[in-house]
Amino acid sequence: MKKHFAFLLILFCIVYINAQKDSIKSPEITAGSDYTKKSSLDKIPEFPGGHSVFMNLIISNFNTTPLWKQNITKARAIAIFDVDPDGNMINLKIESSDNELVKKEFLNALNKIKTKWIPGEQNGAKVKTRMRQPLQFNLE
């Protein structure tokens, strides 16, 4: 049991480090009919505690057991979602993924996060903003 726990802890650390490499860039914000352009935002959305707390929640919610059973050891995925003016993550989708099972597990991990974001602002008003979150992991 201790070996299994230690292995999972190391695994999550590897996933976390790999995910951080891709996500250090500013989140991409898409402009559309009901979105605000990134250049016009006074403040981009922020997760309470910062991006590392958000990544830790994804990692802790990400179930690797089905991936192990399917012998999936490496994958990439990109999630898109909106942060509404109330700070809720809505319209969660996986924009791209190497594998359907990875797509499903990433989406499940994101859906389990109930913490509200600090929404983006434009001219002092809270606005709906599109966000992107890459995930890269290596289970080897």
What's the confidence (pLDDT) of residue 39? 57
Whether the pTM exceeds 0.75: the reply is no
Phi and psi at residue 31, to the nearest 5°: -90, 140
List alpha helices for the chain, DSSP H: 2-23, 51-61, 65-69, 100-111
Question: Ramachandran region of residue 15, left (φ > 0), alpha (ψ -120 to 50) or beta?
Answer: alpha
Q: What is the extent of the structural domain holding 95?
A: 2-138
Give the separation between CA 16 and CA 77, rounded to whole angstroms. Answer: 14
Domain count of the fold of the chain: 1
Q: Domain with 22 in it: what CATH number?
A: 3.30.2420.10
pLDDT tens string for the chain (140 positions)? Answer: 555 444 444 444 454 445 444 443 333 333 333 455 555 788 999 999 999 999 999 999 999 889 889 988 888 899 999 999 999 999 999 988 778 999 999 999 999 999 999 999 999 999 999 999 998 878 77
Give the separation between CA 56 and CA 51, rounded to whole angstroms. Answer: 9
CA terminus-to-terminus distance, the chain: 20
